[in-house]
Structure 1
Amino acid sequence: MGDVLFNKGLNKASHQSAATRTASATLAELWERTVRSRPSSPAIVSGSEILSYDEVNARANQLARLLLDEGAGPGRLVALALPRSSRMVISVLAAAKAGAAFLPVDVNYPRERISYLLADAAPALLCTVRGAAPKLPAGLRMPQLVLDSARQTATLGALPGTDVTEDERGGPLAVTDLAYVIYTSGSTGRPKGVALTGAGLPALAEAKVAAMRITGDSRVLQFASPSFDAYVTELLATFTAGATLVVPGPDTLAGGPLEKALRDGRISHAVMPPAAVATVSPDAVPDLRVLVVAGEACPAGLVKQWAPGRLLINAYGPTECTVCATMTGPLAPTDEVTIGRPIPGVSVHILDDDLLPVAVGEIGELYLSGAGLARGYLNHPDLTAQLFVANPFGADGERMYRTGDLASVRADGDILFHGRIDDQVELRGFRIELGEVESVLARHPDVAQAVAVLRTAATDGPQLLAYVVPTHGSTPEPGELREHAGRFLPDYMVPSVYATIDAVPLTPSGKTDRAALPEPVRTVRPTVQEPRTPAEKILSHIFRDLFDLVEIDVRSNFFELGGNSILAVDLIQRAQEAGLALLPRTVLDHPTIEKLAAIATLGE
């Protein structure tokens, strides 16, 4: 394993991997090695489509040549505005073969956010498909390729499917080249692009294949949105082992749809956040032999439920360190839940305010070092210098990444996670900078100040709450604020509950005192409007059950009651079982029982 440093620098626990490290190789080289050894094996299954390693390789080579013809290449970015699909996987491989870095763009994000990402990253070109193109902002100043258009389909079909040569690329591939850029929530109110080279990919591939025991017969679920770095893990682990990547449709995977994807895809291996895992029954997915939970703290109850009968691993790692920094071994139902130990090539440092290692059992800030560290933040040298600091435990020029996470080391070397130092939180596996949420809300003309906070209620679970101080004489409505936030933020960052306060409470040092914020008071209507239509009665029953309510009003707002994207999946599934046709976007646009019932289609 990697290194854990602790105890004021006097003791050092070093854990080396028993496996031989994968030789230094780029993503394209790791992929092509498997193509040579398993050309006819299934690489991707997507619905009825089954593509062998040879077939995927040929398509990726054709697209790589098209990308090169359009200006992509080493040191340049290719934006991929594509849904979860086999085409997205092939496009990532094509960018790697061209020597370019890929920038995933979630077409379901607000147009303003997409505009910012593309303006900030300035990719050489953007790839999309006809179904996604209308969701992109107008007036983008970069070449665009609609990959499934008649013109591009014909062009791609005429290009050679053989591996791209150094002459075509203009030079050899190198692990030090930029491999991908992932945008994460930013404390300044703007997302920040984390720029990763390929240097950490071989060690990550080796660690995941070994820990997850992936073989050529494994079937790995492609769960993560391409806009999150866990996507890289899924591709690497699958293709390095010569396994099969099972790609479901682009819908949200939670509850019934997730259970169906796992069962229908005969998934044997998966990497998912605990919040998603909690929506599925272990008994319903007997083929799932190996499960890695990552992205947020893993509850002990989930381990107790899922560890029996399968290999369960807890993993930890920020985007700034090539996806994964630490992993546990197989967890038992009674284990204390740790984040494990460093993977090969990663060193963990748990330090005090003077950058000295803390003693065993003491809590300090977690720093990471090793080949997998990002270059830094794209176009943000000041922020890069602030968080990527000199490594006093390494050679000259080596850096550490300051995670902002609190941790301690147990006597046996396993690491315990103790939460965040700053205002970054994790909700359902997503990292959220509260400052970005606050900045967006503060742009509303009726808001003078805004504070966001993550709170866990006994009945509703974790929720993102927003407190606003109105401008003089104004009274912004929660629905108005939610609509405003949804124009600039992805749905997982839009607060569920909005409360108006006279002033933001402060600590003695003058900082926002989030702990002193009052519990939000829900609006009480003078009269309750009972359900009248069959659809309203069905939805009222579902709402009452979801939120454990005795009394329900058809004007009740799903999000104000504490609804979130995972509960929305549950709502839609229950509605469909009752004969009502609803879509995820419908809940977002029409969040009250009354409005949902008015547009829902009631089957016979």
Structure 2
Amino acid sequence: MTGAIVLPSTAPALFEATAAAMPDRPAAAMGDTTLTYAELNAQANLLARRLIEHHAGPERLVATVMPRSIEFVIAVLAVHKAGAAYVPVNPDYPQARRQQILDDASPHCVLSLPGQEVAGAPLALSVEQQPHRSAPNPADHDRPGALLPDHPAYVIYTSGSTGRPKGVLVTHRGIPNLAADYVRRQRLQPDSRLLAFASPSFDASVAEFWPIWLAGGCLVLAPAADLVPGEPLARLVREQSITHVTLPPSALAPLEEAGGLPAGLTLLVAGEACPAPVAKRWAGDRVMINAYGPTETTVAVTASEPLTGDGTPPIGRPITGVCTHVLDDRLQAVPDGDVGELYVSGPGLARGYLNRPAQTAQRFLPDPFGTPGHRMYRTGDRVRARPDGQLVFVGRADDQLKVRGHRIEPGEVEAALFEADGVAQAVAVEHDNRLVAYVVATAGAPVTAEHLLAQLRERLPAYLVPDVVVALPRLPTSPNGKIDRAALPDPEDAERATSGRAPNTPTEIHLATLFAEVLGVSSIGVEDSFFEVGGHSLLATRLVARIRESLHVRLRVQAFFKAPTVAQLAKVLDGSPT
């Protein structure tokens, strides 16, 4: 199946066309700050010219070690206008993870907020707004070289099977196709307000920026604390009059407990499989679209038309500029309705993995259905085609995991587990949309979940830290000696070590019951941190909602993050200092 194609262009050219046509429309907003297209374009031009002065240009990388902010948006535009590609690095990642990415990318320059400069960078520039100043759009004669659609636009680092993150280098060529398709599919207009929910370090943010800017609408940003699924996110959507948002399906349950999303909102779900009950619940009074795509492409390769809520939600047909193939092990097309592996081709394909030609060659193959020199990407996902031509996701063809919208190589998690003190064997699996680690301790060195998780948080970003750690005397094996993942015990049935005393006040007893119910465990100690025995942000919002309902108290999610044990939270609710 093949989607239509639009004329090639570059990302800055798309934005500059909108800025010229609608200079006074709001382009980006955060809190009390709103920049029009003319203002945002001018701010980006000023920074772009600084970057050009420092010889940033085509085929060069600029790291952006910045949180969600207006300044980050300025930085992305400026890097593109200079002709370079940006490498987003989440400043909340552990120092070791940030350094791994910077060492691997070897960026020409590093951008950060004032006062948050990155030590050791060969060239570091701070990004801040410069009101009442303007500069013309940089042209090819200003840059070190002409900017072309096949030049790199961004590098997104994903989980690596070797235990180290790998960068996916994506060009400008697929961005116009993605933007044009999403404008049509989501019916984006100049009065649309699209929420930037995705972390800047994930490619989903690309699909939030460029479609809304092509349509002339406003990109709405917010601090991470306001984007927690549940009450904070629901309140933000209402207060900011959001019309369009992209979320992983697992984020919707906490939102339902917090009052849901406004009717008429356009909701695009992506990042993980969308269960049929979720589509049935959310598709009724709003436009709901299911999208799919690996990082090795320009964000999305397929998307559905608005879901009806009937049956398993399809991942749709190819978006603009994408060609899909459902093939068997011999790279032959399977009959419609049969399950095969999904391969994709078209201008949205990444150039490959940065500095990893062998891995690139393994996943980006010659396209037997295209013209000589064209490639296709092996997704590793198994799909089948419905009679109406839409694709349905079936599962992974390898052991790569999808947990809460994040693609995870279990080898990277397991490599970090092996580096921890006292671990002899380790395996990471997905269970009920949670990342579970099973470990076997070395002789004479017992491992506790709390100690192990503390070490992992120093090495890995939060999405790679297991939600649950289960200690086993040995890992089950198959007859050929390999670890039998299917024989691993259910984490809810496995023994969990708890610490501290039992609850002894009415509030502690009630809270301990709620903690255990939400976590799916038989009991929990009053000193056990919710986040160290399997909890995560989505479960936290669910627990807070249960506490408010059953105890009739006012409790904010942010307060719970500061008091995540039964004992600490009981003191907060009883009015005692923690």
The TM-score with structure 2 as length reference comes to 0.92
Aligned residues: 570
Once residues 36 and 479 of structure 1 are traced to their aligned partners in structure 2, the CA distance between those partners, rounded to angstroms, is 55
The alpha-carbon deviation at position 578 of structure 1 amounts to 3.9
Once residues 285 and 41 of structure 2 are traced to their aligned partners in structure 1, the CA distance between those partners, rounded to angstroms, is 36
The alpha-carbon deviation at position 162 of structure 1 amounts to 1.7
The alpha-carbon deviation at position 147 of structure 1 amounts to 2.2
Once residues 505 and 197 of structure 1 are traced to their aligned partners in structure 2, the CA distance between those partners, rounded to angstroms, is 44
2:254 alignment partner, SS class: coil
Q: Which amino acid aligns with 1:443?
A: E
1:39 alignment partner, SS class: coil
Once residues 527 and 73 of structure 1 are traced to their aligned partners in structure 2, the CA distance between those partners, rounded to angstroms, is 57
**What residue number does 1:94 align with?**
78
The alpha-carbon deviation at position 367 of structure 1 amounts to 0.9
Indicate yes or no: 2:477 matched with 1:501.
no
Once residues 526 and 177 of structure 1 are traced to their aligned partners in structure 2, the CA distance between those partners, rounded to angstroms, is 55
Q: RMSD across aligned C-alpha pairs, in angstroms? A: 2.7
CA contact (8 A) 1:296 1:426 kept: yes
1:379 alignment partner, SS class: coil
- 1:221 pairs with one of 171, 191, 195: 195
Judge which range, 323-332 or 502-511, deviates more.
502-511
**What residue number does 1:60 align with?**
44
**What residue number does 1:6 align with?**
none
Indicate yes or no: 2:390 matched with 1:414.
yes
The alpha-carbon deviation at position 480 of structure 1 amounts to 1.0
2:530 alignment partner, SS class: coil
The C-alpha deviation readout for 1:446-487, integer Å capped at 9, x for no partner, is 11221011112xxxxx32111112222221111111111111
Once residues 41 and 59 of structure 1 are traced to their aligned partners in structure 2, the CA distance between those partners, rounded to angstroms, is 15
**What residue number does 2:319 align with?**
343
**What residue number does 1:475 align with?**
446
Q: Which amino acid aligns with 1:566?
A: L
Once residues 249 and 306 of structure 1 are traced to their aligned partners in structure 2, the CA distance between those partners, rounded to angstroms, is 25
CA contact (8 A) 1:350 1:367 kept: yes
CA contact (8 A) 1:103 1:181 kept: yes
Any residues of structure 2 matched to 1:523-602 within 5 Å, and which? 523=496, 529-532=502-505, 536=508, 539-540=511-512, 542-544=514-516, 546-547=518-519, 552-559=524-531, 561-571=533-543, 578=553, 583=558, 586=561, 591-594=564-567, 602=575
The alpha-carbon deviation at position 130 of structure 1 amounts to 3.8
Once residues 479 and 519 of structure 2 are traced to their aligned partners in structure 1, the CA distance between those partners, rounded to angstroms, is 37
Q: Which amino acid aligns with 2:565?
A: T
The alpha-carbon deviation at position 145 of structure 1 amounts to 1.7
CA contact (8 A) 1:65 1:159 kept: no
CA contact (8 A) 2:61 2:87 kept: yes
- 2:418 pairs with one of 435, 442, 452: 442
- 1:433 pairs with one of 401, 405, 409: 409
**What residue number does 2:251 align with?**
276
- 1:464 pairs with one of 430, 435, 442: 435
2:169 alignment partner, SS class: strand
Once residues 418 and 261 of structure 1 are traced to their aligned partners in structure 2, the CA distance between those partners, rounded to angstroms, is 34
- 2:291 pairs with one of 310, 315, 331: 315
Once residues 533 and 147 of structure 1 are traced to their aligned partners in structure 2, the CA distance between those partners, rounded to angstroms, is 52
Distance 1:285 1:526, change over 3 A: closer
Once residues 241 and 415 of structure 2 are traced to their aligned partners in structure 1, the CA distance between those partners, rounded to angstroms, is 44
The alpha-carbon deviation at position 494 of structure 1 amounts to 0.9
- 1:366 pairs with one of 319, 339, 342: 342
The alpha-carbon deviation at position 579 of structure 1 amounts to 5.6
Q: Which amino acid aligns with 1:143?
A: L
Where does structure 2 lack aligned partners over 5 or more consecutive residues? Answer: none
**What residue number does 1:263 align with?**
238
**What residue number does 1:175 align with?**
149
**What residue number does 1:118 align with?**
102
Once residues 88 and 526 of structure 1 are traced to their aligned partners in structure 2, the CA distance between those partners, rounded to angstroms, is 42
The C-alpha deviation readout for 1:60-95, integer Å capped at 9, x for no partner, is 101111122233211111111111111111111111
2:96 alignment partner, SS class: helix
- 1:294 pairs with one of 258, 262, 270: 270
Distance 1:453 1:328, change over 3 A: same
**What residue number does 1:380 align with?**
356
Distance 1:314 1:527, change over 3 A: closer
CA contact (8 A) 1:492 1:565 kept: no
**What residue number does 2:137 align with?**
163
The C-alpha deviation readout for 1:411-441, integer Å capped at 9, x for no partner, is 2211111111212111111111111100100
Distance 1:197 1:307, change over 3 A: same
Q: Which amino acid aligns with 1:265?
A: Q
**What residue number does 1:11 align with?**
none
**What residue number does 1:27 align with?**
11
1:280 alignment partner, SS class: helix
CA contact (8 A) 2:230 2:541 kept: yes
The C-alpha deviation readout for 1:472-505, integer Å capped at 9, x for no partner, is 2221111111111111111121112222223333
Distance 1:508 1:353, change over 3 A: farther
Q: Which amino acid aligns with 2:228?
A: L
Distance 1:125 1:422, change over 3 A: same
The alpha-carbon deviation at position 525 of structure 1 amounts to 6.3
Indicate yes or no: 2:381 matched with 1:405.
yes
1:554 alignment partner, SS class: coil
Once residues 124 and 533 of structure 1 are traced to their aligned partners in structure 2, the CA distance between those partners, rounded to angstroms, is 59
1:503 alignment partner, SS class: coil
Q: Which amino acid aligns with 1:280?
A: L
Once residues 77 and 118 of structure 1 are traced to their aligned partners in structure 2, the CA distance between those partners, rounded to angstroms, is 10
Judge which range, 33-42 or 247-256, deviates more.
247-256
Judge which range, 300-309 or 521-530, deviates more.
521-530
